[in-house]
């Protein structure tokens, strides 16, 4: 079950809110926990056991850390719990690709060395592990106190708004709200507006671009125009899909009384690759910086050479966290790591370039990296890169020209020009009519109503981060 579905909007959400707001304040975490577990089990019930197991391991380890007087025992307990979490993630993420790589190397498709049945990656596992790891590290540092009530901690881990694809919510950010929160009509209305705009971003902009991106990436020899159209379609699709989900999650959090941190800030307007990572998936960027780059690897405190190594390792590990079905995500992370190292060396030597050129170059690098991120395998990525650099011809192909017919993208055009853009930008800048308080409420409602009509006539593709 995903947010952009009729079963979520017409069945799960109304029933959940009815029970949630009828529940006395002191028991609402229990209602939220049961609702979140039901939301998760709706996909595949058996994997709920894994989430509960990791939750109990993390909860128990944090209490042992809190009660222990031995610094060595605290560190070992933290490390053991983190290893259990990471090992679970590594198994489900990389068992398939490792076996496939070994079979390709030693046996081939006809005579595999290892007879294997693919392991299915459970949804929400990646974000569960990130939340558990940050919580354990923060308890070990003394940043937060261990939560002794299992139901409260489980509600934090399993909270359905951010369970599937973030944003990553650190325990210290919502610790007080887990203990006590009150209904606010103003915050609830703000949450509804954010949810409606995020829903519209997904249905009206991201979804119509999905078939076009899929069509181009499947071509055996895309032309330059085809390749860049496909890459551009995926670039826009990924942003509006993921940012839309994040905005829906933030909106749902507000409706429940929680204030999640923002996850995007116009990343494609970044002036440098460093600026891009200060704008894209903000909660993941901050997590990688605080818990991996600085805490584990040492950041930039050990000299210039070590700084470059740490940057590469951080982005490579970030790529591995995304991955599973191929090594493409690792390559994507390495590309970004190399870009960050190059930009850092460029700046430290006092070089500069015009802002417009810097923005264009940044977007060019980001889009080349999105190519390998989207491709099914590295061979497909090489084919797309070949097309982007004109190795398969220049002109637009017939298939892409047919896919660009106006009827398919009517909702996309209307969504951007008439609804989403004024709802997300003009309403914030105060441009006369869209800055009006009434219109700030009307535009998201119109967007949501139109998106709902569109959704009833089609099946919305799953969120791109649905099973990371």
Question: With DSSP H G I counted as helix, E B as strand and the rest as coil, what are the percentages for the chain, rounded to 5?
Answer: 70, 0, 25
The number of beta carbons lying within 10 Å of the beta carbon of residue 114 is 11
Neighbouring-strand partners of residue 391: 393
What residues contact residue 344 under an 8 Å CB cut-off, 6+ apart?
274, 307, 308, 311
pLDDT at 434 exceeding the cut of 60: no
Write out pLDDT tens, residues 391-406.
Answer: 999 999 989 988 887 7
- Of the given ranges (66-70, 88-92, 98-102, 356-360), which has the lowest mean pLDDT? 98-102
pLDDT band (50, 70, 90) for residue 464: low
Nearest to 337 by CA among 312, 364, 367, 361: 312
Q: 3-state SS string over 187-210?
A: HHHHHHHHHHHHHHHHHHHHHHHH
pLDDT at 427 exceeding the cut of 50: no
The pLDDT, as a whole number, for residue 128 is 94
Taking CA 182 as the corner, what is the angle to CA 180 and CA 183, rounded to the nearest 5 degrees? 150
The pLDDT, as a whole number, for residue 271 is 94
Residue 59 to residue 137: CA distance in whole angstroms: 12
Q: Are 104 and 132 within 8 A, CB to CB?
A: no
- The catalytic position among 111, 162, 281, 322 is 322
> Hey, what are 311's tokens?
């940057």
Residue 388 to residue 376: CA distance in whole angstroms: 17
- Higher-pLDDT residue of 289 and 105 is 289
Q: 3-state SS string over 334-348?
A: HHHHHHHHHHHHHHH
The pLDDT, as a whole number, for residue 443 is 75
Q: Are 2 and 462 within 8 A, CB to CB?
A: yes
Q: Are 347 and 300 within 8 A, CB to CB?
A: no
- Of the given ranges (273-277, 323-327, 448-452), which has the lowest mean pLDDT? 323-327
Q: Is residue 322 among the annotated active site residues?
A: yes
Q: What is the mean pLDDT of residues 338-367?
A: 94
pLDDT at 302 exceeding the cut of 70: yes
């Amino acid at each position: 079950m995903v947010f952009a579905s009729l079963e979520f909007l017409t069945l799960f959400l109304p029933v959940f809110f009815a029970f949630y707001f009828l529940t006395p304040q002191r028991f609402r975490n229990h209602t939220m926990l049961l609702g979140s577990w039901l939301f998760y089990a709706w996909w595949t019930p058996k994997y709920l056991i894994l989430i509960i197991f990791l939750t109990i391991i993390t909860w128990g380890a944090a209490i042992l850390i809190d009660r222990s007087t031995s610094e060595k025992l605290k560190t070992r307990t933290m490390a053991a719990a983190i290893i259990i979490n990471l090992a679970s993630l590594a198994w489900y993420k990389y068992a398939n690709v490792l076996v496939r790589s070994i079979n390709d190397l030693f046996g081939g498709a006809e005579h595999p060395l290892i007879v294997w049945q693919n392991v299915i990656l459970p949804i929400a596992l990646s974000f569960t592990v990130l939340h558990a790891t940050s919580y354990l590290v923060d308890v070990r540092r003394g940043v937060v106190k261990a939560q002794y009530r299992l139901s409260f901690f489980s509600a934090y881990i399993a909270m359905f708004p951010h369970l599937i694809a973030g944003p990553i919510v650190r325990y210290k950010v919502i610790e007080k709200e887990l203990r006590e929160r009150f209904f606010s009509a103003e915050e609830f209305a703000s949450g509804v507006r954010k949810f409606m705009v995020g829903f519209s971003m997904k249905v009206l902009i991201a979804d119509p671009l999905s078939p076009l991106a899929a069509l181009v990436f499947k071509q055996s020899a895309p032309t330059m125009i085809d390749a860049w159209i496909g890459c551009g379609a995926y670039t826009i699709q990924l942003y509006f899909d993921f940012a839309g989900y994040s905005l829906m999650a933030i909106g749902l959090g507000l409706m429940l009384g929680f204030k999640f941190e923002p996850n995007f800030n116009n990343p494609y307007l970044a002036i440098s690759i460093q600026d891009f990572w200060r704008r894209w998936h903000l909660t993941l960027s901050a997590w990688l910086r605080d818990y991996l780059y600085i805490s584990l690897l040492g950041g930039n405190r050990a000299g210039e050479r070590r700084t470059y190594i740490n940057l590469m390792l951080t982005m490579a590990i970030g790529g591995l966290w995304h991955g599973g079905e191929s090594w493409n995500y690792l390559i994507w992370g390495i590309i970004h790591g190399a870009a960050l190292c190059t930009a850092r060396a460029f700046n430290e030597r006092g070089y500069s370039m015009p802002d417009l050129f810097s923005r264009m170059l940044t977007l060019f690098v980001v889009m080349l990296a999105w190519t390998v991120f989207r491709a099914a395998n590295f061979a497909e990525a090489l084919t797309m890169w070949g097309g982007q650099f004109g190795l398969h011809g220049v002109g637009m192909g017939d298939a892409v020209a047919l896919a660009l017919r106006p009827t398919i993208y009517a909702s996309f055009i209307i969504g951007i020009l008439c609804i989403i853009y004024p709802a997300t930008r003009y309403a914030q800048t105060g441009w006369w009519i869209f800055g009006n308080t009434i219109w700030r409420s009307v535009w998201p409602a119109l967007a949501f109503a139109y998106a709902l009509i569109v959704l009833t006539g089609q099946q919305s593709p799953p969120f791109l981060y649905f099973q990371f």
